[in-house]
Structure 1
Amino acid sequence: MKRRQILTVGAVTAATSLAAGGAASAAPPGNAGPPGNAGPPGNGERTPPGLAKKDDLAWAAGGEIEIGSAVAGGGHHASQPYPPPFTDDETYRELLGQEFTSLSAENQMKWSFLRPERDTYAFAAADAIMDFARRHGQVVRGHTLLWHSQNPAWLEEGEFGPEELRTILKDHIDTVVGRYAGHIQQWDVANEIFTEDGALRESENIWIRELGPGIIADAFRWAHAADPQARLYVNDYNVEGVNAKSDAYYALVQDLLADGVPVHGFSTQGHLSIRYGFPGGLVENLERFADLGLETAITELDVRMDLPDGAEPTEEQLAKQADYYWRMTEGALAAVGCTSLTLWGFVDTYSWVPVTFEGQGAATVMWEDYTRKSAYYAVQDALAQASGRAGHPALRR
């Protein structure tokens, strides 16, 4: 398989070779999203894309790949000492619209957020993201439909029989996917369904435990019926390279395809830590799924580091982090069939990492004051090299 040709430079070079500032130019366009809280989407017409400066990630990507970010909100953010990021932080919104061509709801499309009660759908926050994406010419990834985590208590603790539980899932997929039909580019349909040794999460995942493995195929079929245009993905962490877990997905996808199930993509999340070595075999792994006819993506990239007792990152840690960001970006660009690279947030202020991993943090590409880290320039430089924009005067110091 012929790979894209990329001029490779080191992350340390990347951290010092890109300039700030520059005139405005049009960012790569995305598909239109629905209006805000007024109800279901309209006719899906495109609107003019937002403007990206000539040193931003969207401009550096140059249409070579979708460069995305998770939209902060819901989840751990509700317990943090700051107002809701997406609605109350003007700088955050400006950069979210300017730097990226793709958006993912961090929590706002998960079951726990969308379904506070069985008969209640809370669409306002998700609709607002869709409206923002439409106005900024961005595509959207939907996340997620079938998962073992972040489910509401009424679902996990309810005494539902198999047929009723099946109806609940189908109604959810029909309603949520159908609401945004024609406006969401990719959906994470089955999320984190395997353990590290490649076994199905039968005890943890209410859907698989109560309805059997066949519910995975049903979820894909229902999602496709609700939105035939959306590309439907399996998505997980620790599947960057070839290992027991990614092998399980490889076998599952082959079985699904053989049964005519509409699965279109495989994605690795990319939650990395510099505590561990960089995962090997990224391009090889992505391309074996591409050889099956699937698209691939990196969907939740961040790179955390150990910061015990509130320590500040060292230069060595920051350089290693930048190198990991560089290598993940380069891998996404090198792998034939990889359509998008999404950062799981871009500013440390709103990162999930310190809340989830005690004593770890600084995982994103920007400091809390929105100044850029070496990691930002590593991503930017890799994108610019691939798109042929690395020689532009705005990308020189």
Structure 2
Amino acid sequence: MPADLARLSRRTVLGSSLALAACDRFAAAEPAPGPEPGPLKSLAPCPFGTTGMTGQLDQLFWVEQTLRHASQLTPEWELKMERTLGADFTHDFSAADRVVDFAHGNGLRVHGHTLIWYSQGAETFNASVPPARFKAEFDRYIAAAVGRYRGRMVGWDVVNEPVSEDGSGLRDCHWSEALGVEGYMVRAFQQARLADPDAILFLNEYNLENIPAKGTTFLKLVERLLKLGAPIGGIGTQSHLNIEIPAGNITNFFRDAASLGLPIHVSELDFSLKRDGGHLPDLRSSTEKRAQQVARVGELAEAFMALPERQRYAFTTWGLRDSDSWLLRTEGKNNPDDSPLLLDAQGRANPAYQAVVDAFT
């Protein structure tokens, strides 16, 4: 989940024209709820993922729906530093253990989220820590987290959201101040590789489709980090979609990202009906909003399917049902009437479900 949702130009005229034509046909999709949906994991040509938290493990319907639809699980909160990092650099992975054990006990593969994030860890990793200890504890944390689940995580979001909101550059944070704006990223990837040589290591970011300049900055960063020796194994695009972005944005980003040859993870997909920020009233009808939603989600699924098979790491929604979404929760965006996922609270298909299935099949 991003701290704020509002957060390679090799395009050709022909490619953009085809993208516009392909994407906008979804806008005519019927916005009525669908029937009992087929299992997404059986329809997807790659692992289909969702998120899980310890509180959900005791909810029988959540368990039933997750095992019906998902083949991969991402701990939504349990591996973030606000949960795992204590005072004086103590570590507590007990909550993450529960989610990982649940997943493996039910035949799901697990994706680790997240190791180094600009928005977390500053309370402990602060300016009062001597440089030598800062580096040592940085390395020790990554070794502890990744090493604990060595062989049990198929991949990790090693660095999360390093690009500035508008895509004009990279974020300044406690990590960059101590280790350098690119240095902390290279170090994190190298330490993660030492801790688990077989896990696929991802650079993960949001708004790559929504803001083309940010997508360009991100892909240039990947190229630069690789040259600096960071063992980046994959690209994570969170895909918290703004359903009002122009047709073609998503297709163009995926085409540019694919040119790097790395596996791509749609890592945190959701698609709010709400217009984030701004002061003008939202005069769109519910039918119009659903049509926009279906159009953009359909474009995303088709752009993902256009990737070579070896580059389709996984397709993950950030929550499985609307009622699971951080956008509805009081500690999230607190929009209880939003509908940002493929399934409704009862596990029935939302309109975008069919667009995804059509692209997959």
Is the shorter-chain TM-score for this pair beyond 0.5, marking a shared fold? yes
1:351 maps onto 2:309 in alignment: no
1:334-390 Cα distance to aligned partner (Å, 9 max, x none): 12223211101122223111444365732122222333211223223322x2xxxxx
Cα separation, partners in 2 of 1:12 and 1:67, compared to 1, 3 Å: farther
| Count of aligned pairs between the two proteins | 328
Relative to structure 1, is the Cα distance of residues 283 and 136 closer, same or farther in structure 2, using a 3 angstrom cutoff? farther
- What residue in structure 1 maps to residue 12 of structure 2? none
Contact 2:190 2:230 in 1 (8 A): yes
2:125 equivalent to 1:142: no
Pairing of 1:181-220 with structure 2 (within 5 A): 181-195=150-164, 196-202=166-172, 205-213=173-181, 214-220=183-189
Summarize the Cα distance change of 1:17–1:352 in structure 2 as closer, same or farther, 3 Å threshold: closer
Q: Cα distance, 1:241 vs. partner? A: 6.8
User: What is the distance in 2 between the residues matched to 1:59 and 1:362?
Assistant: 23
Corresponding residue number in structure 2 for 1:372? 349
Encode CA deviations 1:108-140: one digit per residue, 9 max, x unaligned: 111111113334322222112212221232221
Identity of aligned residues (%): 29
Q: 1:325 aligns with which of 281, 297, 316?
A: 297
Q: What is the aligned partner in structure 1 of residue 69 from structure 2?
A: 99
Tell me the distance in 2 between the aligned counterparts of 1:279 and 1:234. Answer: 25
Q: Which residue of 1 aligns with 2:271?
A: 303
Contact 2:267 2:314 (8 Å CA) reproduced:
yes
Quick one: structure 1 residues 307 and 231, their matched pair in 2 at CA, closer, same or farther if it must change by over 3 Å? Answer: closer
> Which segments of 5 or more consecutive residues in structure 2 lack a partner in the other structure?
1-21
Matches within 5 A, 1:268-307: 268-274=237-243, 276-278=244-246, 280-306=248-274
User: How much has 1:238 moved relative to structure 2?
Assistant: 1.0
**Equivalent residues in 2 for 1:170-249 (5 A)?**
170-195=139-164, 196-202=166-172, 205-213=173-181, 214-240=183-209, 243-249=212-218
* Distance change (3 Å), C-alpha of 1:362 and 1:18: closer
SS state at 2:273 partner: strand
Secondary structure of the structure 1 residue equivalent to 2:270: strand
State the Cα distance separating 1:19 from its structure 2 match.
5.5
Q: Deviations over 1:89-113 (max 9, x none)?
A: 1100111122011111111111111
CA contact (8 A) 1:190 1:216 kept: yes
**Partner secondary structure for residue 234 of structure 1:** strand
Instruction: Give the drift of 1:331.
Output: 1.4
Look up the SS of the partner of 2:220 in the other structure.
helix
In structure 1, the partner of 2:79 is 109
Equivalent residue letter for 1:365: L
Change (3 A) 1:132 1:14: farther
Preserved contact between residue 294 and residue 355 of structure 2 (Cα < 8 Å): yes
State the 1:234 CA deviation.
Answer: 0.8
For residues 347 and 209 of structure 1, the distance between their equivalents in structure 2, rounded to whole angstroms, comes to: 39
Q: Which residue of 2 aligns with 1:66?
A: 47
Gaps of 5+ in 1: 1-6, 22-54, 74-83, 386-397
Measured after TM superposition, the shift of residue 167 of structure 1 is 1.4
Partner of 2:233: 264
Given that residues 332 and 340 in structure 1 are in contact (C-alpha distance below 8 angstroms), is that contact kept between their aligned partners in structure 2?
Answer: no
SS at match of 1:304: coil
* 1:288 match: secondary structure: helix
SS of 1:273's equivalent? coil
Paired with 1:241 and 1:293, the residues of 2 have a C-alpha distance of 22
* Alpha-carbon distance, 1:250 to partner: 2.2
Tell me, in whole angstroms, the C-alpha distance in 2 between the residues paired with 1:13 and 1:197. 32
Tell me which residue corresponds to 1:315.
287
- Opposite residue 368 of structure 1, the aligned amino acid is A
Aligned CA distance change for structure 1 residues 199 and 160 (closer, same or farther; 3 Å): same
Q: The residue matched to 2:349 in structure 1 has which SS?
A: coil
Counterpart secondary structure, 2:163: coil
Residue 68 of structure 1 aligns to a residue in which SS?
A: strand
Question: Residue 153 in 1 paired to residue 123 in 2?
Answer: yes
Change (3 A) 1:221 1:300: same
Kept after mapping to 1: 8 A contact 2:50/2:73: yes
Give the secondary-structure state (helix, strand or coil) at the position aligned to 2:91.
coil
RMSD: 3.0
Separation (CA, whole Å) in 2 of partners of 1:352 and 1:242? 22
Which residue is 1:129 aligned to? 99
Q: Identify if the C-alpha distance between structure 1 residues 305 and 210 changes in structure 2 by more than 3 Å, giving closer, same or farther.
A: same
> 1:79 — aligned with what?
none
Indicate how the Cα distance of structure 1 residues 152 and 371 shifts in structure 2: closer, same or farther if over 3 A, else same. farther
Paired residue for 2:36? 20
- The alpha-carbon distance between structure 1 residues 306 and 287, as it changes in their structure 2 partners (threshold 3 A), is closer
How far apart, in 1, do the equivalents of 2:294 and 2:251 lie? 19
Q: How far 1:57 sits from its partner (Å)?
A: 0.3
Q: Sort the Cα spacing of 1:118 and 1:325 in 2 relative to 1 into closer, same or farther, 3 A.
A: farther
Verify the 8 A CA contact 1:233 1:264 in the aligned structure 2: yes
